[in-house]
Amino acid sequence: MKKLDISGAGIGLRRGLVSPFQSHGDLNPVQFMEVAPENWMTVGGKAKKDFLAFAEKYPIILHGLSLSIGGPDELNVAFVKALKKFKESINAPIYSEHLSYCTDGGQLYDLMPIPFTEDAANYVAERVMRVQDILGEQMALENVSYYLTQPNPEITEIEFINHVIKKADCLLHLDVNNIHVNSVNHNYDPYEFLNQLPTDRIAYIHIAGHYNEADDLIVDTHGAAVIEDVWNILEYTYQNYGVFPTLLERDFNYPPVVELLAEVSRIDQLQQKYTKDHEQQAII
C-alpha cells in the first residue's frame, strides 16, 4: 500500500489565502499544502504564477470537489485524465475525493450522501477502481459529514465506508472533524466509530472547524477555529494508530495568518509528542 512521501502538518491553499500567505512570508511549521484541483488546473496569468510558486516550495495534495464518485452520471473520464496530467506536472503525492456525490444531470453544488446499501457501495468501489486505473495509483476517499438520517439503510455508515475501501483497495482520507460532526448529528460515539475504520489505510488527515446550528445539529463549514472535542479525536488517533500527515482546513472567514499557523503548530506539537511516544514504545 502506498505511503505518502510527505509528513508533518499542512494547510489548505485557498484563493483567499494566497495574498495573506505571500505577505506573511515564513509559514513555518507548514510542511505541505492542499488544493482543490478544479480551482487551479486551468488558471493562467498571475494566479498560475502564484500557485506554481507555492508548488515549488511545498508538496501539494489534490483534494477534489467535483468527481462525484457516488453519483448517477457517467464517470468523468476526461476530467480524471486532465487531473492526472496536472498531478504529474506538480508532482502531487496523492489525489483524494469525498465519499459522496455532487451531480445528477448537472452540478448540485453540495456534497450529497450516498445511500448506505451494498449495491451502492459496490457501484462506488467500481468507479474508484476505474479512477485508480487511469491514475496508475491508489486514490484516497474522505469520510464525509451528512445531516439527514437515511431511511431504512441496508448497512451502517461504517460498514459502507469499509466495504468501499476494501473492495476498491483505495486509501482512507480521515477527517476527524467529520467524525465529530456526524457523532453529534446522528448520536453515536466518535471513538467507537474511529476504532472501526480501516486505520491501516489512512493516507492523511483533515482537521477543521464547524458551526453549531443547534445542540443536536452541527454544520461542517471549515469557517471557524478547531474545537477541543475535535483536537481530542486527532490526539486519540495519533496515540492509538500512529502519526499521519495532517492538514488544517479553513475555507472562509479567514483570521490573521498567525492564528492559522498557531493551529498548524498545535498539530505539529501533537505529532512530535506521539512520534516520540511510538518510538519509545518500539524500543521497549
Domain boundaries, the chain: 9-283
Residue 1 binned pLDDT confidence (cut-offs 50, 70, 90): very low
Question: Mean of the pLDDT values across residues 107-121?
Answer: 84
Residue-wise pLDDT tens digits, 18-30: 999 999 999 999 9
**Pairing status of strand 60-63 against strand 95-98:** parallel
Question: Mean of the pLDDT values across residues 175-185?
Answer: 95
Helix (H) or strand (E) holding 142: strand 140-142
Would you state the cell numbers that stand for residue 222, as one nine-digit string?
471549515
DSSP characters over 187-235: T--HHHHHHHS-GGGEEEEEEE--EEEETTEEE--S-SPPPHHHHHHHH
Residue-wise pLDDT tens digits, 78-95: 999 999 999 999 999 999
Main-chain dihedrals φ then ψ at residue 150, nearest 5 degrees: -70, 135
In whole angstroms, give the CA distance from residue 54 to residue 119: 42
CATH number given to 9-283: 3.20.20.150
